[in-house]
Structure 1
Amino acid sequence: MPVADRTDEVLDAAYTCLTRYGARRTTMDDIAREMGVSRSALYQYVRNKDHALRLLAGRLHEQALARAREAAASRDPVADRVHGVLEAKLDLVLDLAGDSPHTAELLDAEARLFGDVCADFTARLRTLLTALLREAAIDEPEDAADLCIALVGGLEDRARAKPLLGRATAALVTGLAAVPASRTPPAS
């Protein structure tokens, strides 16, 4: 009889431990205890703590990316769709930062364990945004997508980030649509 896949339970337990102890101090024993299984049972699902945390980072980023894709695929006006994509990224950051100072470690693009997960997430968001902005006939959509991502990055530690995101996205998309490429100042 096959063993039931309990990977989601493992990742939920890993997240709980991460909120308490941080990545360095969390152990496989902590995760097993939180899950209510033996440490040896935990090894059926993950190779080690680093593997569990990497899978956790991947799951959280994939969930945010799914929300971003859903927003991008809606029939809303482009500005609202761009807002939805950016909101998915901002929500990921705000949710993790709100749960514990330790959970923000899952967002560190320089982290050894999951930096590539973060970088891949940002690259995929950029691709999604570029397509939306190209659809809206925005000149230089790749650069415009970078501006959108930078906008979210600038709001991530602001107290009123969510309400500011809506206004900032609307202003950015309106401004991008109004400025023809020939009026764009040269890069310095």
Structure 2
Amino acid sequence: MMETSDPDRVKQEAILGAAMAVLCQYGYRRTSMEDIAQAAGMSRPALYQHFRNKENIARCMVQVYFDQAVQAVTQALAGQGTVPDLLRAGYAAKTGPMIRDMLDSPHGAELLDLKDSQARDLVEDGAARITAVFADWLTREVAAGRVTLDAPPDETATLLLRALDGIKRPPYARFVAERDRLAALLGRGLQALL
């Protein structure tokens, strides 16, 4: 999204929400700018005042996802609890409503693949930011004597996040169950090294 006034930002956020609903319903390839405009309650020319094309919308959605995820993960990992509980909270924060909507969509796989085709640069930057948050958390846990690592925190954080990404598949309810089991297993493993 471009730097905009608050009313424009609110409108763009509404458009992105409408776009997400349409993309989940029809998939990326079948969704048109007209579909998004209708879902957002505006004309197609009005939509073009905010976004150049469908790719621009997809890229903005990826950016918004990572901005929100970084903030949510930071808050989750700053909480209180056991290492497995905090890891579960961090995982849940990273895989919130947008991931739920995609995994519960019949077009989930196509939507998840957009990150590689439409926004690889944004995904790499966002993933690095989230990895840094997890690495900072691990550094704090090591300093508190709650975790022992056999690799640097950034490498361990990368591994923790790759494991999470590796189980990401529909439906969301199954993913959440697997995500929570993974967090419990890995969290206990981090503590077991003490």
User: TM-score normalised to the size of structure 2?
Assistant: 0.76
Matches within 5 A, 1:8-157: 8-91=13-96, 92-102=98-108, 104-106=110-112, 108-111=114-117, 113-137=118-142, 138-139=148-149, 140=151, 141-157=153-169
1:179 maps to what in 2? 193
Aligned pair partner of 1:168 in 182, 186, 189: 182
Q: Against the structure 1 CA distance between its residues 11 and 165, is the aligned structure 2 distance closer, same or farther, given a 3 Å change threshold?
A: closer
- Is the 2:131–2:154 contact (alpha carbons within 8 Å) kept by the matching residues of 1? yes
Larger RCO: Structure 1 or Structure 2 (Cα < 8 Å, ≥ 6 residues apart)?
Answer: 2
- Is the 2:104–2:170 contact (alpha carbons within 8 Å) kept by the matching residues of 1? no
2:7 maps to what in 1? 4
- Aligned residue pairs, count: 178
- Is the 2:26–2:107 contact (alpha carbons within 8 Å) kept by the matching residues of 1? no
The alpha carbon displacement at 1:43 in A equals 1.9
Structure 2: segments with no counterpart, 5+ residues: 143-147
Query: For structure 1, which segment, 171-180 or 66-75, has the greater mean C-alpha deviation from structure 2 after superposition?
Result: 171-180
The alpha carbon displacement at 1:99 in A equals 3.0
- Is the 1:155–1:161 contact (alpha carbons within 8 Å) kept by the matching residues of 2? yes
- Is the 1:21–1:102 contact (alpha carbons within 8 Å) kept by the matching residues of 2? no
Query: For structure 1, which segment, 163-172 or 79-88, has the greater mean C-alpha deviation from structure 2 after superposition?
Result: 163-172
The alpha carbon displacement at 1:41 in A equals 1.1
- Cα distance between partner residues in 1 of 2:175 and 2:35: 34
- Cα distance between partner residues in 1 of 2:177 and 2:106: 22
Percentage identity across aligned positions? 29
Q: Against the structure 1 CA distance between its residues 107 and 119, is the aligned structure 2 distance closer, same or farther, given a 3 Å change threshold?
A: farther
Q: Against the structure 1 CA distance between its residues 52 and 103, is the aligned structure 2 distance closer, same or farther, given a 3 Å change threshold?
A: farther
- Cα distance between partner residues in 1 of 2:84 and 2:101: 23
Q: Which secondary structure does the structure 1 equivalent of 2:88 belong to?
A: helix
CA RMSD of aligned residues (A): 2.7
User: TM-score normalised to the size of structure 1?
Assistant: 0.78
User: Structure 1 counterpart of 2:132, which letter?
Assistant: T
Q: Which runs of 4+ in 1 moved over 6 A?
A: none
- Cα distance between partner residues in 2 of 1:57 and 1:114: 7
- Cα distance between partner residues in 2 of 1:46 and 1:108: 17
Q: Which secondary structure does the structure 1 equivalent of 2:27 belong to?
A: helix
